[in-house]
Amino acid sequence: MTPRASDVVVIGGGAIGSCVAWLLARRGASVTLLDASTPGRATSASAGGLWPLGESLGLGCGVIFHATKGSNGAPAQPGPEPLPRRFMEFLCASNDRFPRLAQELLATTGLDVESEVGTGLLYLLYDEEQQRHAQRILDWLGAERSRVEAWTAEQVRARDPLVTRDLLGAIHFPGDNQVNPMLLAEALKRGALAHGARFVAEARVHALEMARGRVDAVVSDAGRFACGAVVNAAGAWSGQIARLAGVEIPIFPVRGQIVCTETLKPGTLRSNLSTRDCYLLQKSHGEVIVGSTTEHRGFDASVRYENARALAAGAVRAVPALRSATVKRVWAGLRPGTPDELPILGPDGRVANLFHATGGFRTGIVAAPLTGEMVAAAVLGEAPPLPLEPFLAARFAERPAEVVRGA
């Protein structure tokens, strides 16, 4: 067998791993991208909402996450709190990169990742409690307040006539758009290949050969790959990869279910919508995607009927006309969750040549471009475009393990 040495082995061919591979290959590094095509991977399950503000303020999928927590017997909370401001800045900066990234990928690979600018996100306000909660978040925004608009029910109707009339209003995030996540990953992968990277499918990693505190080689079902550095982009499974190197990172799978309709007339939904029960967005192919649950069920990526039913009910409440739309598919995926809902990026710190690009949780797709840049910079020993410190694995070092687990 020919030697399979490369500068960098990237483990995980989802959006994040493919982006790191692409950026490194473009810089001339010899890159091997290993993919295991595991059922339940988050990139394939994702709806592709690019909601840097909606998600960091907790008004995207976070509302449902919060509602789920509240329904488990815990006392009612006023609503999800925003994530740290520096994370919001990180997501916004990453989101801003999409238009150019889409152009570059189209030119390099011929694939259109369906990056749709201008669709915007509407968080629907059904009652006064939600309205008060939204107002608190708008107040918290301060200087960033100008990036968000409070809309009346009439404004919502003018923009999206099929949205329910039983509404107090909505928060409009004009900069929150969408992309096709599977095409994004595929285009990044093909872009990496165009720049000389090697892609190996069905390469489930089962060992890391260690020597002097470094990873010497990655051993997979598809062979052994000697390497100068390893990027752990294995999503919900990245905790297992870290463990192969003898280190722990607090990553756990958070299951999300999706209900997808048949192809509907373009413009059925003009905005992305988020509500207390679900979010909805129409993809450029015409399907409406209804997501998503946040469940802690280990690595079980199966669909729970009750949850699919609840999403359908939420969708019909938000857009009554969808009642007669045929369901095309329901499925589930596993997001890589972390205790503080922030990603784990950059050098591991304990294993010298191990880098993490994981923990994307609800925002892995929107975070992919900047995650790629920050991790690629770390691997190349260059200064990252934004500080890495808030996202280093080392931030969990002082916490006792049970706090980390119980998130």
Q: Which residue has the tokens 């960033």?
A: 144
| 182 or 380: CB nearest other proteins | 182
Q: Which residue has the tokens 């669709």?
A: 119
Regarding 265 and contact with other proteins (CB under 8 A), the answer is: no
Regarding 261 and contact with other proteins (CB under 8 A), the answer is: yes
Q: With contact defined as beta carbons under 8 Å apart, do 29 and 227 qualify?
A: no
Structure token digits, residue 251: 């990553």
State how far the Cα of 264 lies from the Cα of 315, in Å rounded to an integer.
14
Taking CB under 8 A as the binding criterion, the range among 76-84, 161-169, 298-306, 342-350 that sits at the site for other proteins is 298-306
Regarding 44 and contact with other proteins (CB under 8 A), the answer is: yes
Shortest separation between residue 312's beta carbon and other proteins, angstroms = 4
Say which residues have a Cβ less than 8 Å from residue 305's Cβ, sequence separation at least 6.
none
- From candidates 305, 381, 383, 406, binder to other proteins by CB under 8 A: 305
Question: Contacts with other proteins in 310-329 (CB under 8 A)?
Answer: 312-313, 315-316, 322-329
| 189 or 362: CB nearest other proteins | 189
Regarding 222 and contact with other proteins (CB under 8 A), the answer is: no
| 233 or 330: CB nearest other proteins | 330
Structure token digits, residue 96: 């801003």
User: How far is residue 156 from each of residues 162, 169, 192, 265, measured CA to CA in Å?
Assistant: 9, 7, 41, 19
| Strand-pair category, 214-220 with 252-263 | unpaired
| 295 or 340: CB nearest other proteins | 295
- From candidates 37, 103, 135, 152, binder to other proteins by CB under 8 A: 37
| 333 or 347: CB nearest other proteins | 333
Size of the site for other proteins (CB under 8 A): 37
Burial class (CB in 10 A: 0-12, 13-18, 19+), 324: exposed
- From candidates 308, 344, 365, 374, binder to other proteins by CB under 8 A: 308
State how far the Cα of 20 lies from the Cα of 110, in Å rounded to an integer.
20
Q: What SS3 class is residue 56? A: helix
| 254 or 332: CB nearest other proteins | 332
User: CA angle, corner 360, sides to 177 and 256, nearest 5?
Assistant: 80
| 116 or 277: CB nearest other proteins | 277
Contacts 24+ apart (CB under 8 A), 376-379: 376/20, 376/23, 376/24, 376/27, 378/345, 378/346, 378/347, 379/8, 379/20, 379/24, 379/29, 379/229, 379/231, 379/355
Regarding 166 and contact with other proteins (CB under 8 A), the answer is: no
Q: With contact defined as beta carbons under 8 Å apart, do 134 and 275 qualify?
A: no
| 308 or 392: CB nearest other proteins | 308
Structure token digits, residue 396: 């969990």
Window 326-365: contact mask with other proteins (x via CB under 8 A): xxxxxx----------------------------------
Question: Contacts with other proteins in 187-206 (CB under 8 A)?
Answer: 190, 193, 199, 201
Binding residues for other proteins, per CB under 8 A?
37, 39, 44, 182-183, 185-186, 190, 193, 199, 201, 259, 261-262, 285, 290, 302-306, 308-309, 312-313, 315-316, 322-331
